[in-house]
Amino acid sequence: MAKDFSTTNWHGIPRKEIPWYPTIIEEKCIGCQLCYVSCGRIVFEHLENKHKDIVERPYNCMVGCSTCSTVCPTEAIVFPNKDLIQKVEREHKIFTEVRKEAKAKREKIKIEEQRAKVESELAKVTKAMKFEIAGAFGDKKFLLKLQELINDKPFDITNLQLHVPTVKGSLENTPSFMSFELVSTEYADVSEFLPAIRQLIKENQFVLVNENKI
């Protein structure tokens, strides 16, 4: 369903108070539909039975826009003289409103630029890493050591999974597989803490199978 722009305001002026919209000279229209394709506000529709284009939603037209007329190959689309718009601007004294809109636009752009900058900086921060390790866990108390390692740090261990062949096998030091994620709890970069995790893995004679940023 086409959006209705007729109820909107143009710099504080109700759209329907501004008679700016296209008119199609029917005998010149060849039904090429270029106006329909070119218009971003769906002002036009196409009549298949007549092979003609029509102005279906005149007040959807952007005030001052005449792109459809410019691209029409048979010059079948006409608009009011641009003096009409200038007259409306003077009569309604729109520039106080325009200045407000311009200020709001600049502020919006500034906020978007600041947000993009923050997002760019955050993207450089590694907030989580997934580790996959293998080895004989047995009685090495690896989880306890892992907890002690992060105890006073702004990090946590999440999604920890231990895969063992059998319960008895794990107690007999049968090789098993473990995965866990090192995550930041305060938007800190976990990169500075990775060497400590790697060292703990090495000290316990585990194999670091994989390490991925997530």
Q: What is the pLDDT of residues 203-212, one digit of tens each?
A: 999 999 999 9
Predicted TM-score (pTM) above 0.75 = no
Residue type present at position 79: F
Say what the pLDDT of residue 214 is: 85
Boundaries of every domain in the chain: 9-93, 128-213
Cβ-based burial of 153 (10 A; exposed 0-12, middle 13-18, buried ≥19):
middle
Ramachandran category for residue 82: left, alpha or beta (phi over 0 → left; psi -120 to 50 → alpha): alpha
Rounded mean pLDDT of the chain? 92
Has residue 94 got a pLDDT over 80?
A: yes
Q: For residue 126, which of 42, 187, 181 has the smallest C-alpha distance?
A: 187
CATH of domain 9-93: 3.30.70.20
pLDDT digits 0-9 by tens, 96-125: 999 999 999 999 999 999 999 988 887 788
- Strand ranges (E), 116-193: 128-135, 155-163, 176-184
User: With 60 as the cut, is the pLDDT of residue 169 above it?
Assistant: no
Q: CATH topology of 9-93 equal to that of 128-213?
A: yes
Identify which has the larger pLDDT, 6 or 136.
Answer: 6
Residue 90 confidence (pLDDT): 92
pLDDT value of position 71: 96
- CATH class of the domain whose range is 128-213: alpha beta
pLDDT-derived band at 173 (thresholds 50, 70, 90) equals low
Average pLDDT, integer, range 5-22: 96
36-54 pLDDT per residue, tens: 999 999 999 999 999 999 9
Whole-number pLDDT of residue 136: 86
